[in-house]
Amino acid sequence: MDYDDLTVAELKDILRAASLPVSGKKAELIARLTEAGDDSPAEEAAEADLDEAIDDVDADIDDAVDSDDLDDDLDDDFEGDEIFEDEWDDFHTARQKPVLDDETKELLNLRASQKKQQPKFRRQEWFRYKRLSRTGWKKPRGDDSSQRKNRRYRSPMVRIGYGKVAEVRGLHPSGFEERLVHAASDLEGLDPEREVVRIAASVGNRKRASIHDRADDLGLRVLNRRRIERKGDLQ
């Protein structure tokens, strides 16, 4: 053992374990330990206990690796991942695209570029009252309204000049024509290449599930599709 790397306190602990005097400087302590021998009975006992503990830990690790319980746990974990992947595959499907001609695609791109340049239409004094900043547009009608009179440093008003391309007005950003449905019977006669379905907000899970199934049969895309936990009679 290299005693030069040890501190004085550590050297004194070794001397006490060997029943040797602990007085003197570091050099004297090292010389005393060297004369007494590198391996005192206390040190040999400590090293033997440490080796035995290491052997016990290694044996426990080997038993755990070789046991069937660990394999079963790993198999269960992999099975859970497979189940999750299956559920995700059933829920996450590729979005259906409409069949559009080149002219319609160009008009949709033009409308998107126009929308980026459109300012935000804010209500009068939206900066003064928090409740007004969360609401939509409302035309100012006051006789002395600075916004209605279009004075400087006022929010822009909704005007006809901000209108987009008329040929694609009302279309979904993807190019589909939206159809609001309330029941599965409303899906009959819709064209999956041009029309897309949006389920009304008041429709419950029972009827919504039937609309999902019927839309899948007809090949229609549902914009606001949601995951429904089918239990009991909803299966």
Domain membership flag for residue 80? no
Tell me whether strands 195-199 and 177-181 are parallel, antiparallel or unpaired: parallel
* pLDDT for 91 beyond 60: no
- Point out the domain boundary residue: 163, 194, 220: 163
In angstroms, the CA 121 to CA 157 distance is: 6
| 83 phi, psi to nearest 5 deg | -65, -40
Domain membership flag for residue 21? yes
Domain membership flag for residue 98? no
Per the CB < 8 A criterion, the answer to whether 220 and 196 are in contact is yes
Domain that holds residue 18: 3-65
SS3 24: coil
The predicted-structure confidence for 155-208, as pLDDT tens digits, reads as follows 899 999 899 889 998 899 989 999 999 999 999 999 989 999 999 999 998 899
* pLDDT for 81 beyond 50: no
Domain membership flag for residue 94? no
The predicted-structure confidence for 94-113, as pLDDT tens digits, reads as follows 678 888 889 999 999 999 99
178 lies in the same domain as 214: yes
End-to-end CA distance of the chain: 74
191 lies in the same domain as 181: yes
Domain membership flag for residue 202? yes
226 lies in the same domain as 182: yes
In angstroms, the CA 77 to CA 58 distance is: 25
For residue 67, give the DSSP letter.
Answer: S
User: Looking at the chain, which runs of residues are DSSP E strands?
Assistant: 177-181, 195-199
Q: What is the pTM of this model?
A: 0.52
> How many structural domains is the chain composed of?
3
